Structures are given as structure tokens and as C-alpha cells.
Structure 1
Amino acid sequence: MVHGILEIIPDTTILQINREENSKADELSKLVQNTSDLSSSVYFEELGAPSIDRAEVMCISSPDNWMTPYIAYLRDGTLPKDQNKARYLKYKDARFFLEDNQLYRRTFSAPTLKCIDPDETDYCLREVHEGIYGDHLAAKALAYKVIRKGYYWPTIHADTITYVKKCTKCQKFSNVPKQSPSLPG
């Protein structure tokens, strides 16, 4: 683990210093163990109670997205108030499951897919289309490649179509149809 961290920080080395040569660190470690041998220049204050009244916890709630009703139903059994949406959710529920508060989708012909929210879809499309996997696929092939990589969201096919239409490299270097338009006649 330490070697992995050292690769991130350039020009660092680890040296082992013997206890005899590291007297200051040795004194500090003994300071906690025995406070009666300290000189009068070191002052301690023993706290009988915590110095902070209460723990401040900042709750970050993510906005509702397409996964929220599925997670609420799978975790708590909560259905939407609209009867049509509740019926649709029950119908689709068999394809989804929760694991460690992450929603996954079961499929027949692909691996189990991790459901991602709209904030992550753009990054996923960009990485598969242009990134390390990137070979600027057409929309349909891009959608199936994202699914093969293990990701899912309900509008994946429509999103890949709009993404490919916005890609300047795909528009600039795409094949141009050679057939001339036919005249009505």
C-alpha cells in the first residue's frame, strides 16, 4: 500500500531510523504513557467530556432520478401514489435488485448491469465512444457496447443517438452516401 502511494509522490524515499537515533520521537511516544515524569514546561488538560457538543453531520441528498422509485420499492416497499406508475413499477421490478444500496438490472443475454444516474451517463458515453475503448461507433453499436461494459439506464438508446449526432469527429469523418438522390418522375 505504501509503495502505491509513493508512486504518486515523486522523489520520495522511506528510511528506517533506529530507536537509538530517533530520541525525540521516542520521547513523544513515552509522553503519552507516563505524564508524571514531565517537566513543568509541558501542560496537559484532561477532558472529562467531549469538547464538541454534538456531532455535526452534513446530509447530502441526491435529487430524484429514474432509480428513486425502484430503490424505494425494493428497500421499503413504497409504491408511487399514481396507480399506473405503481403498476408499471411492479411489472418492471423483477428485473432489478439492490446490492449495497446500488441498483442493478438483470438481463438474459448480458451480464448484470449497474444502473447509473443521468449525471454519470455523459461520462460513460464519452469514455466508451472516445476514451480508452473508443472507436467512434454508430449509435446502436455504442449502446450495445455500453451494455456489454455493464451499465444501464432506461434512455440508453436515445442518448446514444443524440451523443453520436453531436460528435464532431463522427460527423466530419463519417461515410457519405454515394447514391445520388432520385428525381421524381
Structure 2
Amino acid sequence: MLAYSVKLISRMDPLKYLFEKPALTGKLARWLLMLAEFDIKYITRKSVKGKAVAEFLADHPVEGPEDIEFEFPYENVMTATNDVWMLYFDGAANQKGFGIGVLLVSPEGSHIPLAFKLNFEVTNNQSKYEACIVGMEAALEIGVERLEVVGDSNLVVSQANGEWKVKEDKLKLYHQDLEDLIPRFQTVTFTHVPRLKNRFADALATLASMVEIPAGVKLRPITIEQRDKPVFEYVMIVNEPNDGLPWYHDIWNFIEKGEYPVGTEKKDQIALRRLASQYIICGGKLYRRSHCGTHKLCVHGTEATMIMEEIHEGVCGPHMNGIMLAKKILRQGYYWSTMETECV
């Protein structure tokens, strides 16, 4: 090899590092000295592929004129609609039990969560396969034709795409069942995502694995609601009597006199004490404490309506939306319990 120039074609970054790094120490320096007597040029495999294609096209030019057709060969692609469903799956195998979670998302954005507790032992990879297959079967039952399967299991996704071989005997039956389901769809794609982007299915699987369901007991569907305020504020708003008094009447009486409303239960009294700790009376007016140092003046009735109108459409009013209007009123130093709802 000493009499020839050598082109080294490789995808390995360590070789590129060895030939391109200007200063080397230790074993790398000794290796480079041993290779220095050879005329070696490092070339990446990707660039060689591109060069081969270019050389092939240059060696085989097309002779004579050609008829160029501008017709689109697949006209049905132009009329394709975005009717692809999303399937998120995950499985859980821990000391508490085994469970799987599935989330189907329609093209319109509707979410269909499914969770199953497995009453038999499975490995972590088997639980992932169980979740994927159960989710695909559920999609077939509701008539889904185009499906994108998303999961955080690199093993299941890679084996479904044919990138990895199935070596474990326990997974071969699952993989065969998965391959039997794929032709029943018009199109199916498998995508691997990080675990953070698959938290909903992960939560369903964990919940199913840890919950204990007694025999013969039927569970109603679980509803997850969103709340924007602490529970004690909801209690005060719901139980607020329509007697013409301001919304902060009970808070004022408790701070000034230490009195509770007549007929209140113990839990309501605890909620009132916690709520009153956020307010102070100064100069004959009630203020809500603020972390920024500027306390908010508590207003009600026509005064609150006038503040909303002035800030929204008064002099130099920006006509902002409800949420931004409520935030600006807070910055101006005013507060009432239903301000965000009324601003919207």
C-alpha cells in the first residue's frame, strides 16, 4: 500500500476525528504516527454515494429530444383529505400490577382515552405490545382507515417498522399479531417520541396498573375537570347569598369582628379563615394582598362595571379581550372575586 494513494471510506466518526484533529496525545498520537507513512485520505460514505450518482448520470446522458408530460400521475393524491387518526399507547409493569393505556385522537381533535388492567403477568415490552395492539383493534372497531401510531417504546416502533429483528420468543407472537392488523388499515405509520410527549397514555397505563378493582364492581367513566381557582374561593362564590351586600361582606366581618356567617359549617369556617388571611383592612377599605407589594382595592357593583368600561373602551382604551382586561385591571390595583368571568 506504500506505493499507492488510499481513499478511506467510512461512516465512523472516530476515524475522522483521528485524521482531522491537529493535536493528539497518548494512544491516538501513536496510531496516527503508524498511519502517517501511508497516503490516506478520509472520505465519508454519504459523499461517495452522491458522487457515484453524479458520475453515473454523466456517463449515461440522454440522447435526443424527449416529450415532457406535465400531467400529474396520481390525481387522487391532490384530493386527499387529512383524515388521519392518532394513536398514543403505553404500558406499565410494576410491583403493583400491570396495565395499558391508549389515547385515540380524531382529525377533529376529539380525545378517546382507554385504560385496561391486565390480570396476568407480562414484561414491560409485552405490556407495550399489548397497548399497541389493543389500540389498533379499538381503531378498527370505530372504522378508522388511516392511522398514525405514536409511542415512546423504541423497541415496538422499530420492530413494527422492520428496522429491528424480533429475537425474544415471548414477543414473536405479539409481533405476528401486529403484522396481521397492519394490512386491515389503508395506511399505518409508526413513530417514536420521547416519554414526555406521551404522558397521557403513560398516566393511563400507570393508573390501570395500580388500581385495585374488586370482582363484580362496575366503575363509571372518570371525568377530569379543570379549575382556575382554589377550592375555598369556589365555596365562597357558590354559597354567596344574593342579599345586596358586597361579595366581601363575610371577609370584612371576620377580619374586623372575628365573626362567622350564621349557620355556617365547620369546613366553611375553615375556608373563610384561609380566605381572609389574603385580605387586610386599611383606611376603612378592604385590600387583597399582593406578592408584588401593591395591594389591590376590593370593589363591587357599579364601581366594578365602571372600571371595566373605562379600561376597555374609555379614554385610550385598547379594546382588549377579557383575559387581558382582567390582568390590566389587576395591574391598575383593583380586584373582585368574579372579575375574570365578568371581563370575558
2:325 is matched with which residue: 130, 133, 142? Answer: 142
Match of 1:71 among 239, 242, 252: 252
SS in 2 for 1:159: helix
Gaps of 5+ in 1: 1-61, 162-185
Supply the distance in 1 between the matched residues of 2:300 and 2:291 (Cα, whole angstroms): 22
Higher alpha-carbon Rg: 2
1:89-168 maps to which residues of 2 (within 5 A)? 89-109=272-292, 111-161=294-344
| In the alignment, structure 1 residue 88 sits paired with structure 2 residue 271 | yes
Q: Does the CA-based 8 Å contact 1:66-1:117 persist in structure 2?
A: yes
After superposition, where does 1:10-49 map in structure 2 within 5 Å? none
SS of equivalent residue, structure 1 residue 64: coil
CA–CA separation in structure 2 for the residues paired with 1:93 and 1:138 = 30
d(CA) in 2 for partners of 1:124 and 1:133?
A: 14
Identity over the aligned pairs, expressed in percent? 25
Q: Which runs of 5+ in 2 are unaligned?
A: 1-242
Equivalent position SS for 1:117 = coil
Could you list the per-position Cα deviations for residues 62-91 of structure 1 after superposition, in whole angstroms to 9, with x for gaps in the alignment? 941211101101111111231233221101
Deviation at 1:111, TM superposition (A): 2.1
AA in 1 matched with 2:269:
A
Match of 1:147, SS?
helix
Deviations 1:108-149 (A, max 9, x none): 146210000122111010010011241100111100000000
1:155 and 1:142 map into 2 onto residues whose CA distance is 13
Higher strand share: 2
Which position in structure 2 is the counterpart of 1:181?
A: none
What is the distance in 2 between the residues matched to 1:132 and 1:110?
28
d(CA) in 2 for partners of 1:110, 1:119: 27
1:96–1:105 Cα contact (<8 Å) kept? yes
TM-score calculated relative to the size of structure 2 = 0.28
Distance 1:70 1:133, change over 3 A: farther
TM-score between the two structures when normalised by the length of structure 1: 0.51
| CA displacement, residues 83-102 of structure 1 (integer Å, 9 cap, x when unaligned) | 23322110111110001221
Query: What amino acid sits opposite 1:79 in the alignment?
Result: Y
Q: Indicate how the Cα distance of structure 1 residues 122 and 73 shifts in structure 2: closer, same or farther if over 3 A, else same.
A: same
1:15 aligns with none
Cα distance in 1 for residues equivalent to 2:312 and 2:293: 19
